[in-house]
Structure 1
């Protein structure tokens, strides 16, 4: 019997596999596609997930050392000046999704994860002890048994359907989006900003959603290839026999949106190159993230507009949030109800992503009333408090799991501390082990019953915090700012250890 079978070898499934392997569990990954896809569904990572992959040592593999937050971003095709925020939490990593998946697959292989490509989940039943899976592979159908099964198999998740989990939501079918890798004549590129000079429009900034009364346009000069996108509102529902996409169709869409014929040309390089037409958009949230021994992560649990790039930020953190809890359950030391906290913590985060992507979508539709709303919202975006709120929302820095104490860090993402010896917290978290950072030198005895599950890190930091208990997913389970924690704080530390990491060895 397998411990865990994961359906889907996209970034979310691979991240979960890596997390389980780091915790001593060897998952089996099934992927229906015989080869990694060449389609690029995202152009990078936005938000807290950039810091997360840094804490697993993956950022350097993808792009070298992590850099500072970006000075600006977009919300609902409006400029978000992040220099106004007191604390800028928004990091961006411009790496194509196919490269992210490739690096995660390399890491999974290093950790001993088995990935079966060309193997498709076709059936699922479960009882109190196991999940029975029917799989069709290159050699024909076969069966597997697993203690748990996780669906990371996308918005059309077979796992979700076979488990009988509902997927309510709404479908917006009035939009059609044309995207393509293309070349743009040099005379249209603004040398100062890198944006596009469009007659009658001025300079459209790069990586910016530009709204008009007929649609939305974006120009993104990524290192791997320039991407142009035009989205329109239409009553044409399309048909199954639509002709293949062409650059001419993209060019015509840009003309309708901008009122100017931008002479885009064939992309450079060997590719693969994107040429895609998408109709409509879905916003859906699974009724539950767990049904018995079956769980969902990523798009299998939630789909929403891609505006603002929140998909991988949400899905990869789902995977990390689930991984350590599922591993603890399989290894036998999980406290009662630990696995249930996966849904109770992550579903509200998904709800907020659904909320802000719907809000952004409402801000970009045509119409004078929306234009008036955008004028008002533009005034609000000049207020530092509004910018801070939206930056926290879009990055995920506003997430706070239920705290057990009144310390401001309890339940929040652990800050990017650096020890006095120059060691970054991100260097200490690459093993995905729980950590007790004790800068008081007095808490070692409190950890005695959990030393097999939690690592003690002594040292000093030039900061107000003096001790932190950090979960494997990077969130703080307990914190102190006392030079020497008193009995009340020590009792709270032991309660947090029991709450998240089970009974002590001497219990």
Structure 2
């Protein structure tokens, strides 16, 4: 038993659980929820006594919005977006990298973002592109800031009765082969598995001895919300100078600064009003005066590193603990949520005892390439963001490319995440991709039938042949029948990735389905 003298409450940490997740940010909360849906006993340890209120990511991408949708959280996320738009009002609607309206609809899908501060023009994008058009159902849940997302996920975790122990720090760990002994400020915890979701300076990663190679930072950035005496002195949007770049908006008082001065001298030191004003004056070339700092400002860099492995023994990493990079294009939070969704059901299957051989190995194999791509995507933006003459020349060329229909569409697809694909067995174009919006005859979508986790099988055969085959995996696979159409069959993993799909109803299709079920869902539950 550990007494947190800051909160004056008693923290009872479970001494023996299947999985202990370290870190109660969005990644840790999503992972804990996915594990609980698989039947694992799980607890979350968080060193902070209170939720982190600092300003971080301002929006989520399509795979993250769809992950919320698959767990029944889309209405709550849409509500957050509506409230955000109401708060920022006309300022946000005039901003050049935010969605222009609330509620569902085609206009909301025009969430573009920016590449290295070059805002992508929504009117240039080919919104009829098949990859964009296949993922619009969750478009009304993209403008969900990290703080609001964390609150939404905390409610989700609470409904699943998952304990979150705050004010508890990890101080030591020992992998015993059959579990992990974790030393904490609340005493020693024995856990079957330990997952570090504790950020870029992960204690779990350091104590477990994971290598963390990468590239050193060249930029220092600040993100803050401030009161400004004369805001008209600043440009609404991104602006560059030889000293760096800054972004004002899309809500009143929000400023971002970027300077090519190397790593921050002390990244952990609190960001002061004076520091923000000095930096903003330097990069904007104005005498703008800031009168107050609202909330907790954030300091960041373009430090780019990836763990040499995401899994060693009984210890795993997810989110920023596994990879760090600059926040350009808003990839970090989304990459971490993707890690959690991918790992959750796989580790849950191992704990439950039905995981097919090698399933946990696929976590590293599937997520590492995407993590490496994000690091390079953000490194490329560093090359464009610097204030030197060479970077300025490169920025003009990139801006010219992004001002074309093809360039803008390409960048929006990459930023939104709709092009993400895992290399899986199978020739169908859906295999390895996140399941698109598959509407059924009753007006529902396939994902509406999987809020409790598990595999989803869409069966459009005339006689329900695919569903009958999958019945042997009862309890792991939920089958949904529909009128005949193409695709005639789709098997969706718990993380939303299509594991099998076909456009026929022949024996070969059924054989391939059975192979996919064995590969991903293990041996049948019904002999």
> 1:20-35, aligned counterparts within 5 Å?
20-35=35-50
CA–CA distance in structure 2, aligned partners of residues 501 and 46 of structure 1: 28
Q: 1:221: how far off?
A: 3.4
SS of equivalent residue, structure 2 residue 165:
strand
SS of equivalent residue, structure 1 residue 431:
coil
User: Which residue does the alignment assign to 2:254?
Assistant: 227
CA–CA distance in structure 1, aligned partners of residues 475 and 239 of structure 2: 54
Determine which of 28, 32, 38 is the counterpart of 1:13: 28
2:113·2:415 contact (CA, 8 Å) conserved in 1?
Answer: no
SS of equivalent residue, structure 1 residue 266:
strand
Q: 1:430: how far off?
A: 1.5
CA–CA distance in structure 1, aligned partners of residues 320 and 222 of structure 2: 22
User: Which residue does the alignment assign to 1:425?
Assistant: 446
SS of equivalent residue, structure 2 residue 303:
strand
Q: Deviations over 1:381-435 (max 9, x none)?
A: 2444433332332222222212322110011110012212111234223212210
User: Which residue does the alignment assign to 1:494?
Assistant: 514
Aligned Cα root-mean-square deviation (Å): 2.5
Which consecutive residues of structure 1, in runs of 5 or more, have no partner in the other structure?
Answer: 189-196
> 1:273-422, aligned counterparts within 5 Å?
273-276=295-298, 278=299, 280-422=301-443
CA–CA distance in structure 1, aligned partners of residues 267 and 423 of structure 2: 48
Q: 1:235: how far off?
A: 6.9
Q: Deviations over 1:335-361 (max 9, x none)?
A: 000011011001111001101000111
Q: 1:340 to 1:66 in 2, by over 3 A?
A: farther
CA–CA distance in structure 2, aligned partners of residues 241 and 431 of structure 1: 39
> 1:113-152, aligned counterparts within 5 Å?
113-137=162-186, 142-152=187-197
User: Which residue does the alignment assign to 2:71?
Assistant: 56
How many residues were matched structurally?
A: 476
Q: 1:80 to 1:419 in 2, by over 3 A?
A: same
CA–CA distance in structure 2, aligned partners of residues 106 and 74 of structure 1: 31
User: Which residue does the alignment assign to 1:99?
Assistant: 148
2:116·2:382 contact (CA, 8 Å) conserved in 1?
Answer: yes
1:108 aligns with 2:128: no
1:400·1:413 contact (CA, 8 Å) conserved in 2?
Answer: yes
User: Which residue does the alignment assign to 1:163?
Assistant: 208
Which consecutive residues of structure 2, in runs of 5 or more, have no partner in the other structure?
Answer: 1-15, 80-102
CA–CA distance in structure 2, aligned partners of residues 279 and 497 of structure 1: 43
1:60·1:66 contact (CA, 8 Å) conserved in 2?
Answer: no
SS of equivalent residue, structure 1 residue 132:
strand
Determine which of 447, 460, 474 is the counterpart of 1:451: 474
**TM-score (norm: length of structure 1):** 0.87
1:183·1:264 contact (CA, 8 Å) conserved in 2?
Answer: yes
2:310·2:322 contact (CA, 8 Å) conserved in 1?
Answer: yes
